[in-house]
Amino acid sequence: MDTLAAMDVELAALRQGYNCSCGRIHHLPIADIEVAQDVLISIPDRLRNLGFEGPVHLIADSNTLAAAGAVTVDALDQAGLSVSKTIFVTQEDTLVPDELALSKLFMEVPVAAEVLIAVGAGTITDLVRFAAYKMGKPFVSIPTAPSMDGYASAVSPLIVGGFKRTFSACPPLAIYADLDVLCKAPMAMIAAGFGDLVGKYTARADWEISRTINDEYFCQSSLDLMAAALELCTSNPEGLRKREPQLVKALMEGLILSGIAISMAGNSRPASGAEHQLAHYWEMRSLKENRHSHLHGTKVGVAAPLVLGIYSRVLGFDPSTIDLDALAESHQGPEAVEAEVRAHYGPMAEEILAESLGKRLTWEARKDRIRLIQGKWEEIRGGLAWLPTADAIRLMLKRAGAESSVEELGLPDEWVDDALRYARQLRSRYTILDLAAELGI
């Protein structure tokens, strides 16, 4: 099954722009998408079809240059397009998308460059996406691994001052993924992509509960876009472990479609919920304590069953049994929560407090929230009957050869407990972590 082929009509409609049932006009600015064998040698012709004659500036790291960058540069050279390069040296070190990496990129991109080409996975793509946005230049994405869903995204998660923040950026003008390169990617990166993809279950659930409780904007079309790829990959995870081209292609397409869904919604709601908040927390903790950190998608995959466990506990709860008087005695007011956040996050607390202002509730406000939730409880529970169990997701991850538990990640118990307590403060976004906290679970 070719998921992008199945979505040709939807993607064509997106490029033209259409009025969605969600009430918004959706438009896809990505002019060309191809996941196929030998696509790299066709890039010069594809660039010319997009109106570019050069100069071109290519960005890669040591690994992605070897995987796909060198072939791309050779093809561009042979076609007579002028190419300059920024190469991040990463044989031993992990490239961090921070101020230092951005400064190198801004300094090395020639003013005359017509288009930037990002050859790499998450970090390279996020750096180039942000730089292209700030420079007012288009960029083309050449993914080297099906490891994350940000290739088509219009936002860029970066590390600034040690804090992971999401910045407005621009989607690529085109995405060209060579299937041979993707199938040869490190197994850990393929598994990370699968982890990122299964995280869409909890992301969707979080969006649905916020729609029901908070009347938050919701777009079913954005979720439907990646449903086929999600179904195909989760029905045969072993195919990814075996590097079967059909499954690797479906995974890559699903991740691209996830990024398109983000563009449709105007934010990362279709693809990011509590599972990403936990992953972001662990990433920040890793940076702060200078400890080894697994790939982002790997952490998202491990976080998804944790979040589904919380869903099971919350949806099995009867909020009509809440003793409001007893809950009032244990309630933490805005000042107490602020003090706790400051104590836990230290220098990063100010920004986190600004982001999560709406989550610091007075008792009267929380009591009103509980009554609202009680009134909508059957609607909340009924709308989430489709949710898979935590055990089902863990089994999918294991079948794909991906880590499925915090123990496999080597995360200390303290990190897990702290993430479940404090990670919800990292974003203003409402998730199951907030619902559980409001109900006193």
Q: Would you say 271 and 429 are in contact if contact means Cβ atoms under 8 Å apart?
A: no
pLDDT at 322: 96
Q: Look at residue 36 in the predicted model and tell me its pLDDT.
A: 93
Residue 226 has pLDDT above 90, yes or no: no
Q: Is the pLDDT of residue 92 over 70?
A: no
- Say if CB 118 and CB 144 are below 8 A apart: no
Q: From CA 218, how far away is CA 430, in angstroms rounded?
A: 13
Burial class from Cβ neighbours inside 10 Å (0-12, 13-18, 19+) for residue 14 reads: buried
Q: Specify the DSSP class assigned to residue 40.
A: G
Report the pLDDT averaged over residues 392-418. Answer: 95
Helices (H), 42-176: 43-49, 62-64, 70-78, 99-108, 122-135
Q: How many CA atoms lie within 13 A of 236 on its CB side?
A: 16
Mean pLDDT for 191-198 is 95
**pLDDT tens across 275-316, in order?**
999 999 998 898 888 777 788 999 999 999 999 999 999 999
Mean pLDDT to the nearest integer, 120-141: 95
Using the predicted structure, report yes or no on whether residue 323 has a pLDDT greater than 80: yes
Q: Quick check: 6 pLDDT over 60?
A: no
> What is the sign, positive or negative, of the torsion defined by CA atoms of 346, 350, 351, 355?
positive
Give the range with max mean pLDDT: 267-271, 344-348, 432-436.
Answer: 432-436
Q: What share of the chain has pLDDT > 90, as a percent?
A: 76
Residues above pLDDT 70, as percent of the chain: 97
How confident is the model at residue 392, as a pLDDT?
Answer: 97
When pLDDT is cut at 50, 70 and 90, the band that residue 203 belongs to is very high
Is the pLDDT at 1 greater than 50? The verdict is: no
* Exposed/middle/buried for residue 376 (C-beta within 10 Å: 0-12, 13-18, 19+): middle
274-289 and 413-422 helices, crossing angle to 10°: 130
Given 3.40.50.1970, 3.30.1330.60, 3.40.50.261, 3.40.50.300, which CATH number is that of 3-184? Answer: 3.40.50.1970
Sheet of 139-143, strand order: 32-36, 174-178, 139-143, 115-120, 56-61, 83-88
Percent composition of the chain: helix, strand, coil (DSSP 3-state, to 5): 60, 10, 30
> Average model confidence (pLDDT) for the chain?
92
Task: Report the distance separating Cα 85 and Cα 74, nearest Å.
Answer: 12
Over residues 257-266, the pLDDT tens digits come to 888 888 888 8
Residue 203, C-beta contacts closer than 8 angstroms, at least 6 positions apart: 269, 270, 271, 272, 273, 275, 276
> What is the model's pLDDT at position 91?
63
In the chain, where does the domain assigned CATH 3.40.50.1970 lie?
Answer: 3-184
Q: Would you state the pLDDT for residue 3?
A: 53
Structure confidence by residue, pLDDT tens digits, 45-76:
999 999 999 899 999 999 999 999 999 999 99
Mean pLDDT of 378-407: 96
The residue type at 132: A
pLDDT (0 to 100) of residue 5? 59
